């Protein structure tokens, strides 16, 4: 009898432990450098709260990491097979190294209506070797931002912004004076230089790379080289602020806030920075699609995608959260509160978006955008170093632009093929 009692007690204890374990929620760690940014904090906290309320069996644990430590911490955890389940990282590099899980089975299982909300161009930066490794959640859509007062003062009509390069140059000449300029050419040592250069290339129907990213075509493609010369030539035309080789995002927004330039090519969040630097400009800007020489030229949207780490033990639950976070409600909240643009193409008519005309215009422009970064595991090196070096050299020696970008094509193509 004692043996039976002891056995019964052991079985009861085991059953109680199993029942208790079954009641424990699935814990998903979520790591992205943006969780530490103050403007996003109220949004992600509300997102987690509502998701956990709707999914009581899942708990989201945010991992707060400073931006400078974000990649290093992720790689160390991924190599130990202990990476957070949900991450936003340098997607192509992470996928190339086997740190991320392909999401095709989840994506393919979603209704067609859901999948149509992201264009092929928008998804391209989240793919590697034909497989989807992340879902674009938010982005930084670039547009042409104008100072309404300076435009009006120059005798130009804000309701009719320039649509072509020729019209843009006409505006630029009228917006330039002895101590102010129409715009700024970015040639500083960051990949923002590359982002703007790509947009000018696309606006002329050119391409910087071939379709499978195995060859650079900055000089090889005549339309690309023409665009490079026109854009960098704005300095020689005298319509761009001096010192382009040291002009980055920060310097450009400072010049705009000081009303030293009348137009800048930038993302929506730059307006918030300008308003903070110079409150007198609040409500005095308007935006338009960047001028182009071809119809339906795309703009650029820098993309933050959510991925699932390869070592995640709960990928089904992780996908459920990613899909929830990508929903329309949180897409609107990120745009309104954090100034982060939708990557979905079905948001332009949302009442909350339409209530803010400036935001609505950015969203409309973003509906025809190409995603950034470009899909290569060495993109960070190419975009922040090789391309920027070529731009700086061409700014200092315009007569050698053809040679400089031919050299860039050869150098980058070799790197791509060595992969």
CATH code of 131's domain:
3.40.190.10
Same domain, residue pair 322 and 247? no
Give the residue among 413, 273, 243, 406 at the shortest CA–CA distance from 339: 273
Same domain, residue pair 117 and 146? no
- Domain contains 4: no
In residues, how long is the chain?
Answer: 419
Q: Total domain count for the chain?
A: 2
Same domain, residue pair 308 and 296? no
What is the maximal distance between C-alpha atoms in the chain? 103
Same domain, residue pair 237 and 197? yes
- Domain contains 352: no
Residue-level pLDDT at 24 = 86
3-state helix, strand, coil in the chain (%, to 5): 50, 15, 35
Residue-level pLDDT at 6 = 59
User: Do residues 185 and 244 make contact, with C-beta atoms less than 8 angstroms apart?
Assistant: yes
- Domain contains 357: no
Give the residue among 32, 116, 92, 91 at the shortest CA–CA distance from 321: 32
Same domain, residue pair 336 and 396? no
Distance CA 167, CA 160 (A): 10
User: Do residues 337 and 141 make contact, with C-beta atoms less than 8 angstroms apart?
Assistant: no
Same domain, residue pair 268 and 398? yes
pLDDT along the chain (419 residues), means of 10: 53 48 83 93 97 97 94 97 97 97 98 96 94 97 98 98 98 97 98 98 98 96 98 98 97 98 96 95 97 96 97 98 98 94 94 94 94 95 98 98 98 96
- Backbone phi, psi, residue 90, to 5°: -65, 95
Give the residue among 274, 299, 272, 261 at the shortest CA–CA distance from 359: 272
How far out from the chain centre does Cα 299 lie? 12
Residue 214, Cβ neighbours under 10 Å: how many? 12
Tokens 């800048």 appear where?
264
- Domain contains 169: yes
Residue-level pLDDT at 4 = 52
Same domain, residue pair 332 and 384? no
Same domain, residue pair 239 and 257? yes
What does the buried/exposed string (b/e) look like for 41-54 if buried means 16 or more CB atoms within 10 Å of the residue's CB? Answer: bebbeebbeebeee
Same domain, residue pair 296 and 317? no
Query: 217 is in which domain, residue-wise?
Result: 141-300+375-418
What does the buried/exposed string (b/e) look like for 159-170 if buried means 16 or more CB atoms within 10 Å of the residue's CB? Answer: eebbbebeebbe
- Domain contains 238: yes
Same domain, residue pair 147 and 270? yes
Supply 143's token pair.
């547009």
Residue-level pLDDT at 18 = 47
Residues in CB range of 22: below 8 A, 6 or more apart: none
Same domain, residue pair 171 and 274? yes
First to last CA, the chain: 71
- Domain contains 148: yes
- Domain contains 18: no
Residue-level pLDDT at 17 = 44
- Domain contains 130: yes
C-alpha pair distances (Å), 119 with each of 122, 126, 307, 367, 374: 5, 12, 18, 9, 15
Same domain, residue pair 77 and 119? yes
| DSSP 8-state symbol, 399 | G
Residues in CB range of 35: below 8 A, 6 or more apart: 41, 44, 62, 63, 64, 65
Residue-level pLDDT at 16 = 46
């Amino acid at each position: 009898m004692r043996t039976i009692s002891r056995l019964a007690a052991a079985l009861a204890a085991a059953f109680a432990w199993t029942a208790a374990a079954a009641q424990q929620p699935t814990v998903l760690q979520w790591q992205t450098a943006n969780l530490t940014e103050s403007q996003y904090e109220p949004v992600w906290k509300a997102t987690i709260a509502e998701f956990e309320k709707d999914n009581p069996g899942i708990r989201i644990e945010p991992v707060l990491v400073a931006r400078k430590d974000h990649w290093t911490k992720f790689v160390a955890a991924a190599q130990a097979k202990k990476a957070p389940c949900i991450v936003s990282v340098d997607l192509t590099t992470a996928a190339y190294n086997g740190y991320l899980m392909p999401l095709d089975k989840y994506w393919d299982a979603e209704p067609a209506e859901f999948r149509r909300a992201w264009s092929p161009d928008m998804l391209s930066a989240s793919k590697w070797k034909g497989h989807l490794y992340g879902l674009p959640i938010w982005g930084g859509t670039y547009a042409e931002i104008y100072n309404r007062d300076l435009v009006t003062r120059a005798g130009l009509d804000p309701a009719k912004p320039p649509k072509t390069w020729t019209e843009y140059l006409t505006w630029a000449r009228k917006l330039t004076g002895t101590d102010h300029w129409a715009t700024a050419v970015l040639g500083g040592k960051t990949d923002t230089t590359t982002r703007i250069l790509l947009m000018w290339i696309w606006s002329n129907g050119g391409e910087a790379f071939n379709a499978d990213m195995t060859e650079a075509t900055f000089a090889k493609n005549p339309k690309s080289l023409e665009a490079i010369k026109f854009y960098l030539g704005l300095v020689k035309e005298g319509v761009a602020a001096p010192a382009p080789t040291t002009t980055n995002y920060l310097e450009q927004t400072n010049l705009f806030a000081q009303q030293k330039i009348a137009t800048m090519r930038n993302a929506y969040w730059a307006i918030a920075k300008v308003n903070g630097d110079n409150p007198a400009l609040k409500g005095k800007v308007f935006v338009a699609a960047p001028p182009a020489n071809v119809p339906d030229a795309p703009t650029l949207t820098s993309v933050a995608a959510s991925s699932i780490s390869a070592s995640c033990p709960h990928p089904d639950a992780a996908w459920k959260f990613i899909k929830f976070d990508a929903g329309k409600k949180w897409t609107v909240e990120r745009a309104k509160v954090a100034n982060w643009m939708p990557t979905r193409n079905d948001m332009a008519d949302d009442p909350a978006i339409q209530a803010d005309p400036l935001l609505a215009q950015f969203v409309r422009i973003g509906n025809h955008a190409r995603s950034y970064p470009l899909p290569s595991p060495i993109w960070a090196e190419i975009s922040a170093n090789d391309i920027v070096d070529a731009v700086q050299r061409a700014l200092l020696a315009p007569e050698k632009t053809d040679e400089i970008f031919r050299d860039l094509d050869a150098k980058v193509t070799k790197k791509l093929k060595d992969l």
